[in-house]
Amino acid sequence: MWRYRVVALLLCAGCAHNYVGPITGKVYTDYALIDLYHGGPEYDREVKLAEYLKLHPRTGSDLKRVMLEGKIQVGMTKEQVIISWGAPRDVHRTVFGFSSNEQWIYGDPLYGAKYLYFDNDKLTSWQE
């Protein structure tokens, strides 16, 4: 598989695109024939975080750092987790009364999935 990437790189000399992260100023390089992410997942996370911060300017610096690094912590909202880790593979929801619990699954359960648990939009725990 790596041979095809090398050939594509050689054929695509000059088709690299640079994207500057709106928060860190880091330069992300994308090779149009190889990577369709337009800068890669780190760049996409940084762009989503910048959009989130426009709507939530009072977000603490520790939480910004956690989200930018693609990590999670107890107390995060579902929206913040999606910025950090992306959308889950599956969601299991339990609703009772005026409350709801959710289990989010990342990865394949047969190969070591991660399970996140939410109570009313807040991350309460996770299992690896």
Residue 8 predicted with pLDDT over 50: no
Q: If 0-12 CB within 10 Å is exposed, 13-18 middle and 19+ buried, where does residue 59 land?
A: middle
Which residues span the domain enclosing 117?
72-128
Number of structural domains in the chain: 2
40 vs 104 pLDDT, higher one: 104
pLDDT in tens, 61-82: 999 999 999 999 999 999 999 9
Query: In the chain, where does DSSP find H-type helix?
Result: 2-11, 41-55, 61-68, 78-85
Residue 54's pLDDT is what?
Answer: 94
25 vs 113 pLDDT, higher one: 113
Domain-located, residue 6: yes
- What mean pLDDT is predicted for residues 100-113? 93
Domain-located, residue 61: no
Contact status, residue 85 vs residue 102, Cβ threshold 8 Å: no
Residue 33's pLDDT is what?
Answer: 44
Domain-located, residue 67: no
- Pair (78, 52) in one structural domain: no
- Pair (52, 80) in one structural domain: no
- Pair (85, 39) in one structural domain: no
pLDDT in tens, 24-60: 777 777 654 444 445 577 888 888 999 999 999 999 9
- What mean pLDDT is predicted for residues 8-22? 62
Contact status, residue 28 vs residue 42, Cβ threshold 8 Å: yes
Q: How far apart are CA 65 and CA 10, in angstroms?
A: 36
Q: What is the CATH number of the domain that holds 122?
A: 3.30.1450.10
- Pair (76, 124) in one structural domain: yes
Maximum separation of any 2 CA atoms in the chain, in Å = 60
Domain-located, residue 62: no
Domain-located, residue 66: no
- What mean pLDDT is predicted for residues 13-33? 68
Q: Which residue has the tokens 């009364």?
A: 97
- Pair (42, 88) in one structural domain: no
Residue 118's pLDDT is what?
Answer: 97
Phi-psi group of 95: left, alpha or beta (phi > 0 → left; psi -120 to 50 → alpha; rest → beta)? beta
